[in-house]
A and B are shown apart, each in its own frame.
Chain A
Amino acid sequence: MDKLLISIAGLLSIGGIYWFFFGKREESGQSQTTWSITVDGGYIPASITIPNNRRSSVTFTRKDANSCLEEVIIADFKIKTFLPLNTPVTVTLSPTKPGTYDMHCGMNMFHGKVVVV
């Protein structure tokens, strides 16, 4: 009996973990040229939309002491910037091709998206 219970609880936990981490939806919002991203346990917002062929600026403010998040990398735009705690750091993006570009932390654990339209 207890084995059955444990098995069911286990399966439910596995399903729960799947839903919790993979079931989230990201909203990209309206396209705009200035964005502020709060770095706190990830990127908030995790997805930003910027217009193509225009210069956009993104200001990161890290409020999370986790050293994993101390660097933000947007490889397609050659950006790798150290984010001192509680100090806003602005980077500029000049996209020339529409698409979705990955933005992640130095250890590639936390992810965000830059959508160019």
Chain B
Amino acid sequence: MKTSFPVIGMHCASCARLIERQLKKTPGVTDASVNYGSETASVEFDPAACNLDSITKSVETAGYKAAVTTDPKQTPEDIKEAAKKAELVDLKTKVIASGVLSALILLGSFPEWFAGVFAAISDFYALLSNPVSLLILSTPVQFWAGKSFYQATWSGLRNRAASMDTLIAVGTTAAYGFSLLTTVFGRQLSTIGFPMVMYYDTAAVIITLILLGRFFEAKAKAHTSDAIKKLLHLQAKTARVVRNGKETDIPIDQVVVGDIIRVRPGEKIPVDGKITDGTSSIDESMVTGESIPVDKKQGDLVIGSTINKTGTFLFVAMKIGSDTLLSQIVKMVSEAQSTRAPIQRLADVVSGYFVPVVLMLAVATFVVWYDFGFPVQGFVNMIAVLIIACPCALGLATPTAIMVGTGKGAEHGILIKDASSLETAHKINTIVFDKTGTLTSGKPVVTDIIPFGKHRKNDVLGIAASLEQGSEHSLGEAIGAYAKEHAITRSKVTKFRAIAGHGITGSIHKTSYYFGNRALMKTQDISVGSAEHAMSSLEKEGKTVMLLSSQKTILGLIAVADTLKTSAKSMVAILTRLGITVWMITGDNERTAHAVAKSAGITNVLAGVLPQQKAEKITELKRNKRSVVAFAGDGINDAPALAGADVGIAMGTGTDVAIESAGITLLNKDLNSVVSAIKLSKQTLAIIKQNLFWAFAYNVILIPVSSGILYPFTGWLLNPAIAAFAMAASSISVVGNSLRLKQANI
């Protein structure tokens, strides 16, 4: 058996050799190697002679720690969650303890207000308000609750870097240190005119409030990644596989491609695959956002983690592990959340200089106040400047909104690949739709049946459907499906023959029939005459018309067309209302193209476009109109256009290549998702702008105010404790504002 685990505590390459030697000496270990660079050990051992425990102990004997996880299934997400939980517990303890101490310190620091209240226990109050008592009460707040500020400051200073914690540490240390000096050397200092004031309350209250702020911020921030957590929890844990004729439940990670899996009603489909036996209706809403369950039969694809509603079926596993659609979605969403939105650039630049600049401003504040003869006020204002400055709000403004926004999208079947697509989508003013598969369902269906003479519709359909039984043509499938829908019984066909480019022929009850285009009728010398008028008017609507005849006369015609998706028309109307110009692009001829565009309400048509020309047309639109162009498509040949557009929108029902090239992928067939994606982008951007404005305005206004710039005009000064409150509130408000996106109506 082989295992590898991280080793903690190595300082140099010789440590690695030491651990290696120790491991090799352990009974049962056949081989061991320790890598100092990656700080991991890989060990080969005989499970009969030793176990993970003895290996861990062996590493410990050498003086190091082996981070062997007892639960091998622990994902990085789990580790993160556990770490966050521990952090929250720690923060909570510190907030409560320092809260209680700070309350006592506050009471003791203002005898002019509270001495009367505690008149009944005046001895106790005298003790509480004694500077030494205040020092004793503040010390744990400063160095235990505030330990993390010092740690972070110290490690930062070693690398000549500064953070938020540096400001807090410097600010509170100044207040605490000054008070400590006054307490210990009060008498000596007062003789040289040193002011006898103490700021234990300020230091303690600042630390408590900032920690409280961090506690709420950590809680709120945990919710920004709710969408990913929700997706991860969708994953089924086991699968019921049929191997060697026996059904067994096995953990999902043991399923291999090609396994036949049984799914019963109410169960989760474990992995992606294709139904081999049975039918059912499946709730795919968790992945596609589509609320209506989808009916599936043999040969249809099923998505892992969706829920089987009614029937029992067998399916063959095709994609497992990280290849499943759900894993891809999780990967895509978390990758998108790690990208940078262009709007963030300014905030990024500012935060690089922020903390050192604030430190300089704080020094300047003290000097100016001192020079004007107010040393004590200068000191207080300096602390206020250090405390109020909030680079966190700047850092959180964009990423939290992007996280919630992309998560919100994923819940509705809108996958956003990167932050910049999300940002650009709100500026779209031209959108080009590929026709087949995007605006239309991509599958032809029967639209019209016109019988001639004494025949009825069902006769024409019955004969055509019978003839088409042997055909694999997509038009034949459409007729077959239509006949099945209308419960038409099909007759046995003999002498079936496909005539390439023309149609088909066959005999039913010893009568010969022909089914195909004009050319077929011509070769059989059958006059189209009476049907010509109906035929050409249907063709003008962009439909494909097939004629059915006996050996002598035309019996009827069937028109087939790739129909518009039901949501196409309403989507075009909404987009037009939003001021977006809608185009349709297709390889079809002008006549068909215009007919389809008209029924969707689209007036701008690019017809007869060869697949390789699509990207050129997009570039043309981008250049000519100086507009922000989106392209929505689904096929492999759409990939260059998807990549070339300002925003590429791929239909999730399309090909992997198309999805790969697009910035936004819609997992459901509902075209209104295009509108939702644009709305989501608009709302996310609105939130980001509010956050950035708030974060910038907060610092730009409050830093000067806390330095006392308004004092000469209005007499306003800012108490450092209030500064701490404002600072804690500003980070929380930014995260809270981003979380509002969860409730957004898209």
Contact = CB atoms under 8 A, between A and B. Distances in A.
A and B co-occur in one complex? yes
A36 B40 CA distance: 12
A107 B363 contact: no
Given A107-B392, A108-B395, A6 B159 contact: no
A88 B6 contact: yes
B364 A10 contact: yes
Contacts of A79: 338
Interface stretch (B146-154, B302-310, B463-471, B537-545): B146-154
Contacts of B148: 65-67
Prevailing SS type, chain A contact patch? mixed
A44 B8 contact: no
Interface residues of A, number: 51
Interface stretch (A14-22, A48-56, A92-100): A14-22
A110 B338 contact: no
Contacts of A40: 155, 158-159
A13 B396 contact: no
Nearest to A61: B39
Most chain A CB within a 10 A radius of its CB, from B158, B340, B347, B396: B340
B611 interface: no
Contacts of B334: 80
Interface in A12-67: 13-14, 17-18, 20-22, 24, 34, 36, 40-44, 46, 59, 61, 64-67
B83 interface: yes
Contacts of B366: 6, 10
A10 B160 contact: no
Most chain A CB within a 10 A radius of its CB, from B37, B337, B355, B366: B37
A4 to B, nearest CB: 9
Contact of B395 (A86, A88, A107): A107
Interface stretch (B161-169, B313-321, B548-556): B161-169
B348 interface: yes
Prevailing SS type, chain B contact patch? helix
Contacts of A14: 360, 363-364
A65 to B, nearest CB: 6
A102 B159 contact: no
A20 B160 contact: yes
B367 A18 contact: no
Contact of A66 (B37, B152, B395): B152
B27 interface: no
A106 B403 CA distance: 13
A81 B335 CA distance: 10
A109 B161 CA distance: 8
B93 interface: no
Nearest to B65: A86
Contacts of B359: 17
Contact of B37 (A43, A59, A102): A59
Contact of B151 (A21, A61, A66): A66
B156 A42 contact: yes
Contacts of B367: 6-7, 10-11
A106 B76 CA distance: 16
Given A78-B335, A82-B79, A68 B163 contact: yes
Given A3-B371, A75-B338, A82-B79, A65 B151 contact: yes
Counting from the closest, the 6 A-B pairs by CB-CB distance are A41-B155, A80-B338, A10-B367, A42-B159, A75-B340, A66-B152
Interface of A: 3, 6-7, 10-11, 13-14, 17-18, 20-22, 24, 34, 36, 40-44, 46, 59, 61, 64-68, 70, 73, 75-76, 78-82, 84-90, 102, 106-111
Given A84-B79, A109-B161, 16 more contacts: A3-B370, A7-B371, A18-B356, A20-B160, A36-B37, A36-B38, A40-B155, A41-B152, A41-B161, A66-B163, A75-B338, A75-B339, A82-B83, A107-B392, A108-B348, A109-B391
15 contacts: A6-B367, A10-B364, A22-B353, A24-B160, A34-B37, A42-B158, A64-B155, A66-B148, A68-B152, A78-B335, A79-B338, A107-B163, A107-B391, A107-B392, A108-B347
